[in-house]
Amino acid sequence: VVGGQTDDCFAEAVRIGLGSMPKWLPCRYFYDTAGSRLFERICDLPEYYLTRIEERLLRTNRREMVERFGTTPVIVELGSGSSRKTRWLLEAACARFGTIEYMPIDVSGPLLKVAAEALTDALAGLRVTALVGDYRAALDLLRKRRECPRLFLFLGSSLGNYERDSAIALLRHIHDASHAGDRLLLGTDLVKDAAILEAAYNDASGLTAQFNKNLLLRINRELGGRFDVGSFIHRAHYDAARSRVEMHLVSRHEQQVRIDKLGMVAAFSEGETIHTENSHKYTITELQELAAGSGFVEELAWTDEAGWYRVQMWRRV
C-alpha cells in the first residue's frame, strides 16, 4: 500500500462548505473507515439494486471483457473499496493471462489493505499495488508510467457522483493518463422511475441515513465538531429535471453548531439543509456522448433485462 497521508483538505472542505449558502459537503469525505464499512453494507441492501446488478453483469460477461486484450493488461481501479465485484474480473484475467498486476486506488487505506491481502491470498497469479488517495494524484502518477495496455475500472456508478462538467473533466483526466488501446470499464446507473431511485437512497432499515450522518460524526471526531446527529434528518429526493438523486441532511430546528478546530460556528435555520451528494442517472445516449466528448469509443456494453444499469467498455483513441 503506497501513500496514506492524513487529509488536511477535509478541514478546508468543511470550512468552505458549511460557510456557503446553501451549505454543502463534498461526497468523497463519506468514505472514512466507518463510512466505508457502512457503504459496504449499503451494497447488500435489497433496495440498493446497483451493486447486485453490476456484480451480475461483471460475473456473467467477464470472459468477454478480458478477451478484448491481446496482451496482459494492468488493471487499475478508481474507488476500489472492498474490490468485491472486481474479484470476478481479476479471476478471469488471471485464468486468461496467468499473472495480473492490479492497482486499486481508494481514499480508505484500511479497507485497501484488507482487500489487497484477501485478493492475493485467493488468486495465485495476482500482484497488487494499492494506492491510497484521490484519483487525480494517482492518475498523474500513472501518466508517467509506460506499461501497456491498461484496463481502467470505474464502477459502482461513481461517475454519477460528479456534476456533468466534472464527469467529463475526470474522464479526460483518465484519457490523459492512458495510451491508445487502453480501455475503461464504466458502470453507470440509468434513468428510471423515481420511486425505485428514491428507495435505493432511502432504505427501510435506515442504513443510508446512518451513512449520510456519518459525515457529521466525522466532523465531530476529526475537527472537534459539536453536531447532535439526532437533530438532522436524512433526505433523498429524485430531481427528474436534472436526472439526479440529491442527498441532504436537514436540520430539524434552528441551531448553532460549534466546530472547535475550525474556530467556527455553523448556524442552521429550521429545515435548512446540507447538500451532501448527487447521484446522476444517465441515458444510453448521454453515455455515448460522454465517451465521444472525452476521447473514447464505446466497444461493448451490457445492460440487465429491466434496463436499470449499464456496464460499458470504452476504448481509448
Residue 44's Cβ-count burial label (10 Å; 0-12, 13-18, 19+) is exposed
Of 38 and 100, CB closest to ligand TRP: 38
Q: Which helix (H) or strand (E) holds 296?
A: strand 296-303
Q: Which of 153, 160, 188 is nearest to 50 (CA)?
A: 188
Residue 254's Cβ-count burial label (10 Å; 0-12, 13-18, 19+) is exposed
Of 67 and 163, CB closest to ligand TRP: 163
Shortest separation between residue 85's beta carbon and ligand TRP, angstroms: 13
Of 211 and 238, CB closest to ligand TRP: 211
Asked whether the beta carbons of 23 and 272 are under 8 A apart, the reply is: yes
Beta bridge partners of 150: 74
Shortest separation between residue 93's beta carbon and ligand TRP, angstroms: 24
Of 81 and 109, CB closest to ligand TRP: 81
Shortest separation between residue 70's beta carbon and ligand TRP, angstroms: 32
Of 88 and 201, CB closest to ligand TRP: 201
| CA 163 to chain CA mean position, Å | 13
Shortest separation between residue 280's beta carbon and ligand TRP, angstroms: 8
Of 94 and 159, CB closest to ligand TRP: 159
Tell me how far apart the alpha carbons of residues 43 and 25 are, in angstroms, rounded to a whole number. 22
Shortest separation between residue 279's beta carbon and ligand TRP, angstroms: 3
Of 78 and 128, CB closest to ligand TRP: 78
Shortest separation between residue 234's beta carbon and ligand TRP, angstroms: 8
Shortest separation between residue 92's beta carbon and ligand TRP, angstroms: 24
Of 236 and 257, CB closest to ligand TRP: 236
Of 183 and 244, CB closest to ligand TRP: 244
* Residues at the contact surface with ligand TRP, assessed by CB under 6 A: 30, 42, 50, 156-158, 160-161, 201, 208, 211-212, 247, 277, 279
Shortest separation between residue 145's beta carbon and ligand TRP, angstroms: 27
Q: Which residue is nearest to ligand TRP (CB)?
A: 279
Q: Phi and psi at residue 113, in whole multiples of 5°?
A: -65, -50
Cell of 80: 476500489
Shortest separation between residue 48's beta carbon and ligand TRP, angstroms: 7
